[in-house]
Amino acid sequence: MNLPISLLKLLMPRIRHPTTKSRELAREITTEEATPATMSTRSHLLALPPELHLEIFKHLRPVSSTCLGLTCKEFYRIHKQLHGMVGLHEPIIICQPRRYPSWRFTRLGALLTKWAGPKFYFHR
């Protein structure tokens, strides 16, 4: 697996040796063996070892972890294990560097409503 140098430089200083608990959780969340057939249909992030997934989630705040966790079942399991339920009123900072360097606050619920679109709604 070839990872871009920039990604390796970003991840390497943060990688620590996995603890026994991290290894057990990684084994628990791994559902299938990575093969060339499955890797070609999966994202590059999912192709990383489960220990790296855990490290990535450990460095995220709960709201960011929620957003990444909602991208697939494997990531949701990790998010749920590390952060549990996150309230829809939790604040998040949105950076908008493309238009002009700025940022604004919003709530997780507002962000998810925009992301999910009009066909979906939150169930209490």
Domain that holds residue 40: 16-85
* Comparison of pLDDT for 65 and 20, the residue scoring more: 65
Whether residue 64 is found in the same domain as residue 109 = no
Looking at the structure of the chain, the number of domains it has is 2
- In angstroms, the CA 116 to CA 102 distance is 24
Whether residue 75 is found in the same domain as residue 20 = yes
**For residue 7, what pLDDT band results from cuts at 50, 70 and 90?**
low
| pLDDT value for 120 | 74
Q: Tell whether the model's pLDDT for residue 77 goes beyond 90.
A: yes
| pLDDT value for 1 | 46
**For residue 110, what pLDDT band results from cuts at 50, 70 and 90?**
confident
Q: What is the model's pTM?
A: 0.58
In sequence order, what are the beta bridge partners of 105?
Answer: 93
Cα–Cα distance list, 51 to 3, 39, 69, 93 (Å): 16, 17, 16, 27
| pLDDT value for 30 | 46
Q: Tell whether the model's pLDDT for residue 29 goes beyond 50.
A: no
Whether residue 101 is found in the same domain as residue 81 = no
111: helix, strand or coil = helix
Whether residue 91 is found in the same domain as residue 75 = no
- In angstroms, the CA 17 to CA 99 distance is 40
| pLDDT value for 31 | 44
